Chains A and B, each alone.
Chain A
Amino acid sequence: MSNLSKEMRISEKLLGSDAKLEILELFHKSPGLIDRIDGVSRRIGRTPPEIEADLKDLIGIGVLFTRTIGSFEVIYFDRKKDAEVQKQISNLLREGG
């Protein structure tokens, strides 16, 4: 039960906004993308304030993570965590019928 709730929360977060899907699509196409928030937003034709909350959600789920490089906070994609989350969602969809 608690597992299912967790998966539902994750899927709600992932599917909650267009920007989030655009960010995910960007990182699926370019899993080796490493950039700042302004670079990520530019690559999907948006501004940093538009995607800030969505990035935080994705970092919270673990699909993205950050590192501080010099004076910059840089965003990375975690392929293994992404595969894990995708598996959880597909299980949820199967169980949900």
Chain B
Amino acid sequence: MDRVKTGIAELDKMLNGGFMQSDAVMVAGSAGTGKTTLALQYLFNGATQNGENGIYVTFEQLPDQIYRDAMNFGWNLRRLEEEDKLRVVCTSPDLLLEASDGSRLLDEPIRQVKPKRIVIDSLSHLSMYVEETNLRKDAYQLLMYFKTKGLSSLSIWETPQLIGQTFSVTDVGLSFLVDCIVLLRMVEIESTMRKALVVMKMRASDHDRRLREFEIESDGIKVAGPFTHYEGILTGSARRSLTDDAAKAMAEAFGTRREKAHE
């Protein structure tokens, strides 16, 4: 089955080639972790590298900052809009959810750009306009609408900065509605704040389950190697892995004894 590539080479490898087509993906993370950057990169790369047009839905009062931030990475969204490869839709959450007569707000931009990808920035913003009891139903209907239109959706969810041994991605039960969850975290390692990424869930597909370090560089997100020498990273306060150190010490000790025996 063809995959929906993010265009971020290492992330695509982690996803076994990319997201599954028409899947609902959630990118969760606290403020400043790079959720919007990842979402914009996903849309820009889709339109410019894979011929997959996109729609970016924002609930900001004015989306100027989105155009500006994207331009800082060299992603000219206005040009993509002129070429009918992208739409930055700026609207209100209640309008996005409205579907009482069968027509939806996004029918028009979908007709115009024939997108394959859509980003919702953000599902957590949307949740502020909906009663908690209705949120799951409304979010489910919206995600199903995207699937019936053949869209691979990526919804952003803002989590609080969580410190502790256990946590859930969302506290309103949205995790089970989505097919894939990518979690972004700030972590403190040796007095430095670093960024970690993990694919927490991916239905019907194998994927890399390791925590990987990533950075936001001048041309977007770059995913690096796994945090092999640390544990407790998701608690936000990682420590060097004792088992690694112990294994190293044992190997050294064993190696020294063997060398002595050979002398």
Contacts and interface: CB of A to CB of B under 8 A. Distances in A.
Nearest to A83: B82
Q: Looking at A30, A31, A33, which has the most chain B CB atoms within 10 Å of its CB?
A: A30
A26 B90 CA distance: 11
Interface in B46-99: 61-64, 81, 87-92, 95, 98-99
Contacts of A26: 62
B171 interface: no
Interface bin, chain A? 20 to 34
Nearest to A43: B61
Given A32-B89, A32-B90, A32-B109, A72 B95 contact: yes
Contact of A35 (B87, B88, B95, B104): B95
Contacts of A32: 63, 81, 87-90, 109
Contacts of B64: 29-30
A70 B99 contact: yes
Interface in B97-144: 98-101, 103-105, 108-109
Nearest to A30: B90
Contact of A34 (B81, B89, B101): B89
Contacts of B88: 30-32
Contacts of B101: 68-70
B95 A34 contact: yes
A14 to B, nearest CB: 21
Interface of B is mostly: loop
A30 B89 CA distance: 8
Interface residues of B, number: 21
Contacts of B62: 26, 29-30, 43
Contacts of B104: 69
Nearest to A31: B81
Contact of A74 (B63, B81, B87, B95): B95
Interface in A52-71: 67-71
A67 B87 contact: no
Interface string A27-42: 0011111111001000
Contacts of A31: 81, 88
Q: Which of B81, B87, B92, B104: most chain A Cβ within 10 A?
A: B92
A79 B88 CA distance: 13
Contacts of B100: 70-71
Interface of B: 61-64, 81, 87-92, 95, 98-101, 103-105, 108-109
Interface of A: 26, 29-36, 39, 43, 67-72, 74, 76, 79
